[in-house]
Amino acid sequence: MLTHRHRALLRVLRGSLFLLSLLTFGWMTVELPRAATQGASQSNTVTTTTSQSSQSSTTDSNLVNQAASKQTNTVDKTNLEKALNSAKALTGHLSDYATISQTLLKTAISNGEILDKSTKFSQTDIDQQTKVINTTIDKMVKRNYDANRYDSVPVGYNNQNQLDTEGAPIQAHGGGVIQTTDPSNGQPIYYWVGEDKSHNNAFFNGINLYSSKDLKNWTYVNTILKPDANNSALFDVIMERPKILYNAKNKQFVVWAHWERQGNYSSSQVAVATSSQAGGEYHFLGHWRPGAGTDSKYRNWGVKLLNSDSKTDTQTTAFYDDGTKLNDYQNVTKDTDNWGTPSRDFTLFQDGSDAYIISTESGTTMRIYKLNADYTDVDKTAMKSYELFTNARREAPAVVKAGDYYVIATSQQSGWSPNQGRYSYTKDITDPNGWKVTTTQNSAGEDINTPFGLLGDNSTYHSQPTNILKVNQNGQTNYIYMGDSWLPSTIGESGYIWLPLKISGLEGNSPQVSMDYTPDWSIDTLSGKLDVPNYPLLSKNKPATSKGGKRC
Ligand code: GAL
């Protein structure tokens, strides 16, 4: 029987034959790759062709890709090299800068150098990396250490007012927070993972990890997953909404993220990485759709634009990370038993030693799977996955256990724009019919199962849910709603709306979930005491007046 690897080898051989025939018919001019002919600084305009016979690893998918994007690929690296020079000029005094600035700059330089030396990247890749380097330079922050900058939880639309202990804006968007115990003193320690968007763009620029003891002041620890131009699973991709779990059984931290190739959301996969230390080096396990078989055929593929340099061509094709084409892409959506089900916005939820992934399966519906004992994949035998909120177009899930209830917060699907949050609950997370919903019908007569209750105001206080943290301390239990306040045109400045979440009525049959906008609240993580100031809404109960049409 042919394995996936054999098939890949055959494809490579077929590709080489195709290449040979192209050369024989003289369709393209042959020029040696730039590195072989020129020094980095000699000429910035490099002509590469698809027929580099010296590159034995060339596959047919590369050919398809390159042939589609014109037969000759002319790339200009002038600006990339300028940006690299400016970035390298800073490396002499890096220690003046906040640690996150140092890490981002080093990563931007390292990827820039890979692109500069290689002939395989498109002009779009080169321009994009040039922008990453320039934006990283612009956003470098001088180190200004203050371990106790905040005495309440900083809440706001803009992360320029939510700084880490070194004074740099916190870059942990779409994130997740867990509580663990500091082994040195038995006190709680919190870890927050989230997306780095300091480059002001949606594509993957890193997943950062911060730590805190008081939930007010956060220290940047590390960028635990970085873009890597040498690894196609970590470059030109989108990685969103990372979540972290701690697996006590094998003492591993496990991070999941929503994974896509840049340019479209059709791959709809998760990426998983593990580490023995929260802020340590993470081992990347790959990316796939939840429920995918373990055969390599079903993993590490993605849907990308056939011609990423074209402004008009939106045709997509699926490729494995090694560049081979995924020929039976049509089967992916039909054969979900083997390929798994699509997964976009998601959350992880830990319930004792069990854990679950709840994700937006498609434009319309969500799905829950149970995770395996290591939390590194779903376990289809432990629980049959099921759909929830059918046809309700929900996303941005966050789940917490309150009393006997599992409570979920979600948003409507509206891109970066906030909308009315809603909540639902169930006493049995394994029961597809347990969640409290309001059912209506769409025009096709199908059920729309909308989560039952409204959460916050009609924009969820200008936020989209990403996590609910349960703080259990000294016999007191508090819940913290964590949302992203996206600023689409300066996405890297998006802020964090964290608010106390009130969950009441847990003894009865209809718990209520609510939150008010109270910016100056705090929690004592040692005593467990929540301090929410009485913050009267000043406009409340005042009559609305206007002065003769003048703006006042
Ligand atoms: C939102 C989603 C975000 C991001 C954004 C892109 O709906 O919650 O995580 O994917 O769309 O437009």
Ligand 1 center to residue 174 CA distance, Å?
9
Question: Element (H or E) spanning 333, and its range?
Answer: helix 329-334
pLDDT of residue 480: 98
Ligand 1 center to residue 464 CA distance, Å?
9
pLDDT of residue 542: 60
Q: What is the CA 203 to chain-centroid distance, rounded?
A: 9
Residue that has been written with the tokens 């939106």 in this structure: 314
Ligand 1 pocket test, candidate residues 395, 411, 487, most atoms within 8 A of CB: 395
Could you give the CA distance from residue 356 to residue 397 in angstroms, rounded to a whole number?
A: 12
pLDDT of residue 539: 58
Could you give the CA distance from residue 411 to residue 460 in angstroms, rounded to a whole number?
A: 9
Closest residue to atom 2 of ligand 1, CA basis: 415
Full-model pTM: 0.85
- What percent of the residues of the chain are helix, what percent strand, and what percent coil, each to the nearest 5? 20, 35, 45
Which stretches in the chain have pLDDT values below 50? 1-72, 546-552
Could you give the CA distance from residue 153 to residue 161 in angstroms, rounded to a whole number?
A: 11
- Give strand pairing partners of 287: 271
Could you give the CA distance from residue 33 to residue 36 in angstroms, rounded to a whole number?
A: 6
- Give strand pairing partners of 210: 192, 220
pLDDT of residue 534: 81
CA dihedral (67, 71, 76, 77) positive or negative: positive
Ligand 1 center to residue 88 CA distance, Å?
34
| Residue 459, Cβ density class (10 Å: 0-12 exposed, 13-18 middle, ≥19 buried) | middle
Closest residue to atom 7 of ligand 1, CA basis: 415
Residue that has been written with the tokens 């069990």 in this structure: 354
**Greatest alpha-carbon span in the chain:** 84
Ligand 1 center to residue 415 CA distance, Å?
5
Show Cβ contacts of residue 340 under 8 Å, excluding neighbours closer than 6 positions.
Answer: 288, 289, 290, 291, 292, 293, 298
Residue that has been written with the tokens 């396990």 in this structure: 285
Ligand 1 center to residue 259 CA distance, Å?
12
Residue 515 Cα distances to 481, 519, 532, angstroms: 8, 12, 11
CA dihedral (148, 150, 154, 158) positive or negative: negative
Query: Residue by residue, what is the 3-state secondary structure of 149-178?
Result: CCCCCCCCCEHHHCECCCCCECCCEEEEEE
Residue pLDDT, tens place only, 102-126: 999 999 999 999 999 999 999 999 9
Yes or no: say if 188 and 525 are a contact pair by the CB < 8 Å rule: yes
Ligand 1 center to residue 358 CA distance, Å?
16
Ligand 1 center to residue 416 CA distance, Å?
6
Q: Where are the beta strands (DSSP E) in 63-140?
A: 72-76
Q: Is 141 helix (H, G, I), strand (E, B) or coil?
A: coil
Ligand 1 center to residue 200 CA distance, Å?
14
Closest residue to atom 11 of ligand 1, CA basis: 415
* Atom from ligand 1 closest to the CA of residue 411: 8
Ligand 1 center to residue 362 CA distance, Å?
13
Closest residue to atom 5 of ligand 1, CA basis: 415
- Give strand pairing partners of 451: 437
Yes or no: say if 275 and 225 are a contact pair by the CB < 8 Å rule: no
Ligand 1 pocket test, candidate residues 416, 487, 496, most atoms within 8 A of CB: 416
Q: Which tokens in the block code for residue 152?
A: 């309440």
Ligand 1 is surrounded, with C-beta below 6 A, by 174, 240-241, 345, 395-396, 413, 415-416, 464
Give per-residue burial for 327-362: e unless 16+ CB within 10 Å, then b: eebeebeeebeebbbbbbbbbbbbeeebbbbbbbbb
| Residue 413, Cβ density class (10 Å: 0-12 exposed, 13-18 middle, ≥19 buried) | middle
Q: Which tokens in the block code for residue 551?
A: 């703006």
pLDDT of residue 330: 84
* Atom from ligand 1 closest to the CA of residue 344: 10
Question: Element (H or E) spanning 18, and its range?
Answer: helix 4-24
Residue that has been written with the tokens 């301390």 in this structure: 473
* Atom from ligand 1 closest to the CA of residue 241: 9
Ligand 1 center to residue 13 CA distance, Å?
40
Q: Which of 374, 339, 510, 352 is nearest to 429 (CA)?
A: 352
pLDDT of residue 544: 55
Q: Is 369 helix (H, G, I), strand (E, B) or coil?
A: strand
Ligand 1 pocket test, candidate residues 196, 345, 414, most atoms within 8 A of CB: 345
